[in-house]
Structure 1
Amino acid sequence: MEHRPANTFEHSVRIGWGDCDPAKIAYTGRLPWFALEAINAWWEDKFDGDGWFQMEFDRNVNTPFVRLEMDFVSPVTPRHRLICHVWPVKLGETSIAFRVDGDQDGKLCFSTRTVSVFIQADEFRKMPPPGDMRRIIEEYIS
């Protein structure tokens, strides 16, 4: 698994009562949701507010997921903010892989690795990332 760089993007998630099951921990299905929300926040942060919605409708670029891996380490609870550390780990000719580590109170709760493919949204056709996007993404890959 990739080593977490010191300069990862951090996205804070408030875990609410409705995110939890009777055991008082976050539902398992919510954890990928939190990770994907954090990746969208990374896009918004790096591309002047352009997250997935703006990428699709303003840039005609989409990045559907083709792989999701998640390791569960410690329960997520409403007691502390969930800090999702997000960084791209690989940029291929038409794909991008992200890692998201979810921490609470300084303790790793989960680690996620995703792979997405760049597509031209209106034709749902694989494409390389646009040049400006590639340049920015490459700055964050260690």
Structure 2
Amino acid sequence: MGDAPLVHEICVTWGDCDPARIAYTGRLPWFALDAINAWWEAHLGGDGWYQLELDRNIGTPFVNLSMDFRAPVTPRHRLMCEVWPSRLGDKSITFAVHARQDGVLCFEGTFTSVFIIADQFKSQSAPPDLRRIIAPHVRSG
């Protein structure tokens, strides 16, 4: 089992909400993806998806997103997104995200992407240097 999840804080604002005064459903995957990018930045010395794609020619397009909604997300409290890699395959990585407000689980999900050579959009194995960074952090649950 890996180390503790990264906790990424998101300020949910009025502009994120619909007339029912809760966050638009479409914003919830965005919050999760923002947390995953923060995980990459925290573990790659400040580099996230942008730098992976443009500077290292490594793409990670998503092949599966799965989310369960547990409680409404509102602007009343910061959204605390716990994120960690839950699986590292030969050519794929799955992240888990659990998002809470004021201690209440609002949503949880898994997000799987594959490693590609970005400028060729061709599948590749997880680059060895990334595998060395990711592997110690993989944890289930």
TM-score, normalised to structure 1's length? Answer: 0.95
Within the alignment, does 1:94 sit opposite 2:82 as a pair? no
Q: Aligned letter for 1:24?
A: R
Report the Cα distance in structure 1 between the residues aligned to 2:91 and 2:109, rounded to whole angstroms. Answer: 20
1:54 Cα deviation after fit: 0.1
CA distance in structure 2 between the aligned counterparts of 1:69 and 1:17, rounded to whole angstroms: 26
CA-CA distance at 1:6 after TM superposition: 6.7
| 1:83-136 CA distance string (max 9 Å, x none) | 000000000010000000010000100001011000000100000111110011
Aligned to 1:8: 5
Alignment of 1:47-58 (within 5 A): 47-58=44-55
Is the Cα–Cα contact under 8 Å of residues 5 and 83 in structure 2 kept in the other structure? yes
Q: Which amino acid aligns with 2:52?
A: M
How many pairs were matched up? 139
Structure 2 equivalent of residue 69 of structure 1: 66
| Runs of 4+ with >4 A deviation | none
Matching residue within 56, 66, 90 for 1:59: 56
The 8 Å contact of residues 3 and 136 in structure 2, kept in 1 or not, is answered as no
Does 2:127 match 1:130? yes
> Normalising by the residue count of structure 2, what TM-score does the alignment of the two structures yield?
0.96
For structure 2, the residue ranges without an aligned partner over 5 or more in a row are none
Identity %: 58
SS at match of 2:38: helix
How far apart, CA to CA, are the structure 1 residues paired with 2:57 and 2:25?
Answer: 32
User: In structure 2, which of residues 90, 96, 103 is the aligned counterpart of residue 106 of structure 1?
Assistant: 103
Q: Distance in 2 between matches of 1:107 and 1:8?
A: 17
SS of alignment partner, residue 86 of structure 1:
strand
